[in-house]
Chain A
Amino acid sequence: MKSFRTDLHVHTVLSPCGDLEMSPGNIVLTAIRHGLDIIAITDHNSTKQCETVWKLGQKLGLTVIPGCEITSREEVHSLALFADFDALAVFQEFLDQHLTIISNNTKIFGYQLVVDENENIHEEIDWYLGASLDVSIEEVERKVHELCGIFILAHIDRPRNSIFSQLGFIPPELKVDALQISKLADEKGIREKYSIKPEITLVKFSDAHYPGDLGKTFTLFEMENPTFNELRKALMGEDGRRVHIPEASPKPPPKEGA
């Protein structure tokens, strides 16, 4: 079993709040330089930047999982990760169908750009991607699972846009594959504070909006290969796979020039 440094919550220039330096090339190179093995691209309510990052990852040796950070009607943020681009395309249709359309004010919210691998602007999204969908968190979860995706509640310890801030507690019918805690959170403290059962997996990701965020926060996935199915197994604790949040983020391994 190998150990993979994994960060499944990363924004790009497509997210209004994502830094303009978060181009596909910069993300992949920075992630590799800082010792990450697997990342997921999770822009707010859009999947349109995933493929370019994935292609660059293929070329340069970084596993990139396509995904999204979704805002439900309760304004709860969750992460969806998909095994392939067919599922991702269906999910994009779901987003297009349900996102509340508010025009984007770049002065307030920032630019929302889809760029190619050479950082040429391919598309600028005119409506605000930080708006919410008109569907409940349960409907989002059902859609993700219908498409055989992984569903994770995002930054559950944050005072806004978390399941606990918006809805007080995790609705009993909601099927979560894991809960993501934010970079400074302490796993044990969070489990106690929110009475999270031991069988629910916690993971820690960066929620990176700037290149400097990459590599500092990750979860170790102990599994055979850096694939989607192995990730799922590790989250479920199946076949000896497991996840482990490092106590304090250690220095990156000597992987310079990789």
Chain B
Amino acid sequence: MKVSELVEKLGLTVYSGQNGLDREISGGYVSDLLSDVMGNASEGMVWITLQVHQNVMAISSLKDLAAVILVNNLEPQENTIGHSNEENIPLLGTNLPAFEIAGKIYQLLV
């Protein structure tokens, strides 16, 4: 599934990184510790988190993730948006908490 389809199906907000919306999704990962994501997420995953810091995008780029989804209506910091556009990795948002959005994505992907 492409990131754009996920956005459409779940009504996600697209904050930035529109150029990356045709990235293919391989799976998902939920974590708020960036050290953990560095170690355990893999290429093509969508990362569900409440961290809005710009380092989120650096790590997404390092791991070549498909997209980042911010939960609980949290808004990204300005420089996080900047990095998302530079890296062409979509930065998305939902009003749902991590448990619920992860459940919905799991149903769509698996």
Contact = CB atoms under 8 A, between A and B. Distances in A.
Contacts of B51: 74, 166-167
B53 A171 contact: yes
A136 B59 CA distance: 17
B34 to A, nearest CB: 4
Contacts of B54: 171
Contact of B53 (A136, A164, A165): A136
The bracket for how many chain B residues form the interface is: 10 to 19
A168 interface: yes
B58 A166 contact: no
Nearest to B33: A165
A168 B52 CA distance: 13
B96 interface: no
Contact of A136 (B38, B58, B77): B77
A137 B54 CA distance: 11
Interface in A158-192: 160, 164-169, 171, 173
B27 to A, nearest CB: 20
A168 B55 CA distance: 7
B7 interface: no
B35 interface: yes
Given A74-B51, A136-B53, A168 B77 contact: no
A173 B82 CA distance: 14
Contacts of B35: 164-166, 168
Interface in B3-54: 33-35, 37-38, 51-54
Interface of A: 73-74, 136-137, 160, 164-169, 171, 173
Interface of B: 33-35, 37-38, 51-55, 58-59, 77, 79
- 9 closest residue pairs by CB, A with B: A168-B34, A167-B55, A165-B35, A167-B34, A168-B38, A168-B59, A168-B35, A74-B53, A168-B55
Given A165-B33, A166-B35, A173-B79, 14 more contacts: A74-B51, A136-B53, A136-B77, A166-B33, A166-B34, A166-B51, A168-B34, A168-B35, A168-B38, A168-B55, A168-B59, A169-B58, A171-B54, A171-B55
